[in-house]
Amino acid sequence: MSFQHKDLAAGRWKELTFCTQMANIGSEVERALNWQAKQNPVYSGKAAERALELLDLTLDSVTGMARRKEVSRVREAVVDFFMGSNEFCSTDKSWRGYFLPFTYAARRLR
């Protein structure tokens, strides 16, 4: 598999806290949303793919059934929103609202 985030895939991702991982995923989702708003599906799709890659790395590193379930569900919803028919009725606002607390927590933990 070819990774966009090669150094993270090589093991550095597992060293980050869960909040930091989710904040980084949120950054990619935010980029995808911004490109979507600018009517650029190519860049939006690439950012969404990077978010999915980071979600997969998180799934590989997360411990505990509750977190694994949450990350799996988020991955499913990201695919549905950016590449599917949005059956979960996600919105830009709901995505920003979900990831923002992780960003605050990650900054606070520095």
Q: Mind giving me the DSSP string for 26-90?
A: HHHHHHHHHHHHTT-HHHHHHHHHHHHHHHHHHHHH--SHHHHHHHHHHHHHHHHHHHS--TT--
Residue 103 has a pLDDT of 95
Residue 50 has a pLDDT of 95
Residue 7 has a pLDDT of 61
For range 13-34, the mean pLDDT? 95
Task: Enumerate the domain spans of the chain.
Answer: 16-109
For range 30-42, the mean pLDDT? 98
Q: How confident is the model at residue 39 (pLDDT cuts 50, 70, 90)?
A: very high
pLDDT in tens, 49-79: 999 999 999 999 998 999 999 999 999 999 9
Q: Rounded to an integer, what distance in angstroms lies between the CA atom of residue 47 and that of residue 106?
A: 21
pLDDT in tens, 83-106: 999 999 999 999 999 999 999 999
